[in-house]
Amino acid sequence: MARRTPLNEAHRKLGARMVDFAGWDMPVQYSSVIGEHEAVRNAVGLFDVSHMGEVEFSGPGALETVNALISNDLARISDGQAVYAGLLNEQGTFVDDIVAYRFSPERIFICVNSSNREKDFAWMKEHAKGVKPVDRGDDFAQIAVQGPKAGGLVQRLTKTDTSKIGTYRFAEGEVAGVKSIISRTGYTGEDGFELYCAPDDAVKLWDALLTEGQQDGVKPCGLGARDSLRTEMKYALYGNDIDDQHTALEAGLGWIVKLDKAAFIGKDALVAQKAAGVKRKLVGFEVTGSGIPRHGYAIHKDGKPVGEVTSGTMGPSVKKPIGIGYVPAELAAEGSTFDVDVRGRPVPAVVVKTPFYKKP
Amino acid sequence: MADSIPGDLKYTKEHEWARVQGKVVVVGVTAHAQESLGDVVYVELPKLGATITEGKQFGVIESTKAVSELYSPVTGTVVKVNDALADNPSTVNTDPYGAGWIVEVELSDPKQVDALMDATAYSNLLKSA
């Protein structure tokens, strides 16, 4: 039996098509993936992301403990700020990708992927030297409010001055009378918030956002739109673009790896890889022939397999078939060409600058 | 949806339809099929003059998320393909029984359409699913 978020009943009432996602019964779409995608690009969309996991480290030394577990640096940010980071293993490949919230040096809150929740917690428990993690996954529901009108919508429902919450910053407050962590983060490339609240309050918050958002053209959005939105931004998805087989440097996520900070798991491997040269890279490409690249399709050069597509779709906003995949470093430069093996048919593709989608 | 199944077409259990016009049939996918697929973004069509076989794959239909095979309801030669789907694949969603048709096939044996389901049988299939 798949797990259900507190909003499961609300999704069904809205006519969502439900699918099993990482053991959770989740909405993949309500009306149309493209319609929901466009609502987020042009107005505002709501996503139930309550399936995401949360882990908290509290007590003296919390910051140092977490910093030894993740690739980014919590010492470089302020209280009230968050960072995207890799939770890496000794090989410098991914256990998961996470967002770490710094409430204070003694309280760090981490959001992890639903599919990795148990694995991550076990990993953190085993490797945490100092403060022990607490699994808080059952204590939070999470709603993502994303799109150019997200700021206005959330502001009308809260007394917290959201203009003071910059990108990748957060505040604690009330939204629609619901105690929330109001975080200016998201996975769509648009302005927006991720609101964490108690599971019992989730329906109240969801309904208030839907009602108040009518004037903005708000749409509830499913996993389908979430995937096409993030693909257009070349945001990595664990299990597709990043995993325990590819290092953070190969994934093009060097910017979340602070090799000059104190030791963290995976650092030595990445320092060595950087010195030796990264031999394969995750690139974004556009298909110039006819076909849509999909996860798992082979990438060929001169008829020989050289890499693999990790994500691909017809980009609803870029209106082109786009893909993400690993290729040898010599094919990673913008303008490099190769073929995607679309069901046995070679379809030409070219490496392009990402994100694929740029605000008009 | 089930209430919009045209009475003058034949159907397969894979949710294709066939409009019989003498020796030629027009083939498409049903409203139920397009609804399950979601937004259609690409249709891979067979070549003009290709021979396609009943129950065998003759093309591919892709939605934002999924890749699905198209199975031919009949055996015969492709005499027309709906090239307009290259530019407007979403026509399959908006008009599955009309402008969203996929191919026209000249039947190798006109009697083979007798084996296909009629609207009532197809409607029952959807109800039992």
Interface with chain B: mutation pick from A30, A232, A318, A342, highest number of B CBs within 10 Å: A342
> What is the model's pLDDT at position A174?
98
Residue with tokens 């999909």: A294
Contact B63 A33 (CB under 8 A): yes
Contact B86 A290 (CB under 8 A): yes
| Distance (Å, whole) CA A113 – CA A237 | 9
Which residue is closest to B86 within chain A, CA to CA? A290
CA quadruple A267, A272, A275, A277: dihedral positive or negative? negative
| Residue A78, CB-side half-sphere exposure with 13 Å CA sphere | 8
- Provide the ipTM: 0.87
Cα B45 from chain centre: 12
Distance (Å) from the alpha carbon of B60 to chain A's nearest alpha carbon: 10
What distance, in Å, lies between the first and last C-alpha atoms of chain A? 44
Q: What is the pLDDT along chain B (129 residues), one digit of tens a residue?
A: 445 799 999 999 999 999 999 999 999 999 999 999 999 999 999 999 999 999 999 999 999 878 999 999 999 999 999 999 999 999 999 999 999 999 999 999 999 999 999 999 999 999 987
Say yes or no: A32 contacts chain B, CB-CB below 8 A: yes
| Distance (Å, whole) CA A221 – CA B93 | 19
Say yes or no: A71 contacts chain B, CB-CB below 8 A: no
Structure tokens given for A274:
């950087």
Rounded to whole angstroms, what are the CA distances from A25 to A8, A19, A146, A289?
8, 6, 22, 36
| Residue A322, CB-side half-sphere exposure with 13 Å CA sphere | 23
Structure tokens given for A144:
């993502």
Q: What is the pLDDT of residues A173-211, one digit of tens each?
A: 999 999 999 999 999 999 999 999 999 999 999 999 999
| Distance (Å, whole) CA B71 – CA B59 | 7
Helices A33-42/A223-232 angle, 10° precision: 60
Say yes or no: A227 contacts chain B, CB-CB below 8 A: yes
Chain A neighbors of B64, CB-CB under 8 A:
33-34, 224, 228, 313-314, 316
- SS3 assignment for B83-101: CHHHHCCCHHHHCCCCCCC
Contact B64 A316 (CB under 8 A): yes
The reply to whether the predicted model has a pTM over 0.90 is yes
Distance (Å) from the alpha carbon of B16 to chain A's nearest alpha carbon: 22
Mean pLDDT of A155-179: 98
Report residue A3's pLDDT band, with 50, 70 and 90 as the boundaries. very high
Nearest Cβ partner for A34 among B44, B60, B64: B64
| Distance (Å, whole) CA A126 – CA A85 | 19
Contact B65 A224 (CB under 8 A): yes
> What is the model's pLDDT at position A78?
98
Q: Is the previous residue joined to A316 through a cis bond, with omega within 30 degrees of 0?
A: no
Contact B39 A294 (CB under 8 A): no
Nearest Cβ partner for B64 among A290, A314, A343: A314
> What is the model's pLDDT at position B66?
86
